[in-house]
Each structure stands twice: as C-alpha cells, then as structure tokens.
Amino acid sequence: MTNKTITKRFYLTTPLYYVNSRPHIGHSYTNIAADTLARFMRLRYGKDHVHFLTGTDEHGQKIDKAAQAAGMAPQEFVDKISATFKDLWTKLDISYDDFIRTTEPRHVKAVQAVWKELEKRGRVYKAGYSGWYCTPDETFWTEGQVFQENGKNLCPECKRPVERIEEENYFLKMSDKQEWLIRTIREAKDLVILPETRRNEVLGFLENNVLQDLCISRPKNRLLWGIPSPLSDAHVTYVWFDALINYISAVGYGVDEKLQKKWWPADVHIIGKDILRHHAVYWPILLEALGLPTPKMIFAHGWWVQGGEKMSKSRGNVVDPLEIVDRFGVDAYRYFLLREASFGQDGTFSEEAFILRYNTDLANDLGNLLNRTLTMCEKYFEGEIPAFNPEKMQKLSYDEANPDEIAKLIFKNRATLEAMASNLPDKILELMRRLAFSEVLAEVWAIVSEANKYIERSAPWALAKQGKFEELRCVINTLAGVLKVTARAVWPFMPTIGKEIWTQLGMKESIEKNIFIKGSVDEYFLTGGVVSKAAPLFPRIESKKGDLT
C-alpha cells in the first residue's frame, strides 16, 4: 500500500462468501486478515474513519440446487447458511462495520440502478449466445476454451463437465476497455494489485487473450433465483455481476450519493487468489463503465493446503475453524494463520505446525515473558512495576571513581530494547501498508525474544540477592515497557490477548489508542503501575496426531 493510498478514511472489504455450504478455514483466513487491518487502521484514524465490509453472496444456480437438495426454499436456505457466517465472525472476534447480503433490498436496488446506468451509457446490449456453460463456476466458455478428456467437454477452471447452451442474454461491453485496463494496472497509480505475482498473472491474461464481453444475465426459464433485470422480465442478473456490486451498494450507490463519496473508492479489496480475475478484470471495467474510480488496491492471498493439496470437502481435508477455536482459543488461531505464512503465499496447515507455533511463540516466548515479569513485580516490589530513574542508573554505570559494570551492561541492554520499541511503530506501519502480517509479527517477536534474553543476561534474582535494587528496578521496568508496547502492537492481531496483557500490567487507559503518537512508546518505559497477575495466557499443549483434522 503506497503512501498515496493512505487517507484520513479507510474502506476495506472482503469478498462476499457464497452460501451454498458452511464456512471453512479459507473464509476465516480472509476475515481475520481484514479484521486485523481494520483494527490497525482504527488505531491510526479513529473508529469513525474506518469502514470494514463483509457479507454473503446468495444468488445463482448453485444456491438454487443446494436449496432443493436440502428440501428448502432458496430464501430459507440462504437465511440459514448466512447466519452460520455471522456466528463464526462473532466467535472469531471479527469487528466488521457492515454485513451485506445480496438478498437485501438495498443491494437489489443498487444492482438494478447499475443496470439502468449501464443502459443509459450504452454499455450493455442484448444478443444470442451459443457456447459451453459450467454450472459449478457459473461461467460461460467459448469453444476454444473448453478441453476434452475421456470424451467429455470440461471447464478449463474447475475441470468439471460443461453443458452446451443456446440462449439470448445481456452483455457488458468489455473488449474496448482492454488496453485501458492494461495501462491502469501497469501504471499502478489508481489501482495496485498485490502481491506482484498476482499483478503479473492478470497482466499475462490481458496481454495474451482477446477480452470477451461479459454475459451479465441468465434467462428465467433456466434460473429464477436471482435479482430481476430491470431491462427484461425474462432475465435475472448473473451472480458474479450481482456480487461485485456489493462494494458500492453497501455505501449507498444509487441511494445516498454523500455516503458513496465518503467511502468510495475502496482502499483495499482483500480476496482469495481463485477469484482474482473477477476482481482485477471484470470489476474495474464495470466501474469504468459506470464512471466510478477503481479500488485503490486488490490483494489476493493464497490458500491453506494440506499434503500439498488445497483443502476441500471432496478431498476430506477441510479444517473446521470452530473446532480449533473451541480447543485452543480464538487468538491462538488468529495468530497462527497470520504468522505461519506470508500473506499472499500458500500456507501449509498441520496439527504439528499449529502446536509448535503455539508452544514456541505464544507459551514459551510471550506467555513466559509476561509471567516472569509479573512474578518478579510481586516478589520484589509488592505487586508494582517499579518506577525507574535513568539518572541514577547513568551515575551507577559511569561513575569514574567506582563504575558498576553490571549496571552498565543492564543500562546498555535497556537502551537496545528501548530503541527497538521506539522503531517498532514505523516498521509496523510500513509493513501493514503491504499487508505483510507475518512480517509485522516477526518484528514484534524480535523484541519479545530480546526481552527474554535480557532476563537471562541481567539475572534479576541475583541482583535481588546482592541488594542491587536500582539495577533490579531498571530490569523489571524495562520488561514491563516491552510488554506494554507488545500488547498494543499485537492487539489488532489478538484482541483478547492484547487487552489481557494490558490489563495485567495495570494500565488504566484504553488499549485502543494510537500507538503512532510521537513519544507514546517512550513513556511506557518510565511509567509504573499495579500489576494483576492471572492464569497463564497460553498453557502448553501436547500434540495428539489427528486432533485438528
């Protein structure tokens, strides 16, 4: 995310999740990432200046068939499945500002307003179509795009059988915008696509294919479950055309021009790499046809795989987020997903990797640092974080007549930790602009690791025995300062844990305060407080093969 994309307001979205089945780890990954970014931006700009949108996609042939299979009416079916997504987001502490459903009246009105605007601008036309149709992907393919295997015509995307269809539909003109889109993506001023591999993928597609006009309708004699086209009583809206419009329907398109101008264009669409083409090709052209600016960024993250294969119900390797959360906690799950793999790359999920990350990073590193620090506050200073006087330590360290080498070492190592903490906000800001979540957490854990080493080097138990209480104050005050900075830095990633660390350190002000205010980090290393030690945040867990699958 370049400096140009950072504004005084921030609008971010997830894709709409298709409700033909219940949510899985992939859905949770996208929303946890978006939630982390939203919380981070609220720290920077304030709650009223960030708008985080998610929701569910509820039309199309697959929904109709899934409802029939369940013996339910389509609306009853989507109501039930959409609720499971909301329930999961509550469980995962997802702080969305708006949840939109494509069956809502506000969205239906916006879609029909888009139809009318496109007709007014001469961007849609009606024509006969003859070609191949893939029901699972709800996509048309030309004769040259499908391939044959064992005598069957197959979809080039999902490799499943396609059917021959001849019908009359409406089309959005796209071919005349191909060069415009290539130029827009290459310039990367108005539209940035990340990671770079995805940008290259889109450019490769655009530069090596002739862009076909997009079919945006389906005849009612083949599909009734869709938003009616205002241009024809015989047609409903193509589900992907319908779904993409949610990003503007949620902020008042066709209804509230002031609201639309406040939030649009979106600062970032966070999506999975499997729907990149819809968002990076169809969506920008649709917006251009409407006379609207493109989103500032599209970020396509990778998949979670097991045994080298993408998780899917057909392979029987899907991980249930609720099962993991119930056993190990929400924040441990959030941490693993954002730490284990660089956002944008595929990640490998396994029970062994999860437990190793939990025990090493959370239990041993962060949990142990907090527990040892609070224990020493209780043992040596009656439950208080000791106040620290830099002048006294300076004098002890550099007294020409009788320099204290231990004090000098402790004071020097404190300065190292203070510098790391002071530089952390700028590092985090730069990394979050690129949605580099794993790298942010690596920076935070570098300080946590250094703080644990500080304990071993300083040996506070020995300082207490020797009566070196000024040095002891310095050590424990420094550790508390590191933990305060850490609590605020990890709060967007692990809201409950961040707040719990903050509370146990006796901090009275809200943790939801801008860590980027100049001098805010430095003051953490000078202030005291009464601690409130609780049970360990991350009790170690033992691996039992097969527990998480």
Nearest to 386 by CA among 501, 475, 279: 475
Residue 246's alpha-carbon distances to 6, 107, 112, 241, 264, in angstroms, are: 23, 7, 12, 10, 12
pLDDT in tens, 65-122: 999 999 999 999 999 999 999 999 999 999 999 999 999 999 999 999 999 999 999 9
The owner of tokens 């109709």 is 64
Using alpha carbons, select from 122, 113, 246 the residue that is nearest to residue 176: 122
**Range list for CATH 3.40.50.620 in the chain:** 3-301
Q: Are 12 and 44 in contact (CB under 8 A)?
A: no
Mean pLDDT of 342-366: 94
Highest mean pLDDT among 151-165, 406-420, 484-498: 484-498
- The H or E element that residue 206 is part of is helix 196-208
Is the Cβ–Cβ distance between 224 and 62 less than 8 Å?
Answer: no
pTM tops 0.85, yes or no: yes
**∠ CA 183-184-190, rounded to 5°:** 155
CATH 1.10.730.10 location in the chain: 351-530
Window from 33-37, 160-164, 286-290, 438-442 with minimum mean pLDDT: 160-164
| pLDDT tens digits for range 189-211 | 999 999 999 999 999 999 999 99
Amino acid 318: pLDDT: 74
Is residue 5 very low, low, confident or very high in pLDDT (cuts 50, 70, 90)?
A: very low
Query: Which is the CATH superfamily of the domain at 351-530?
Result: Isoleucyl-tRNA Synthetase; Domain 1 (1.10.730.10)
pLDDT at res. 1:
46
Task: Count Cα neighbours of 491 within 13 Å in the Cβ-side half-sphere.
Answer: 24
Fold of 3-301: Rossmann fold (3.40.50)
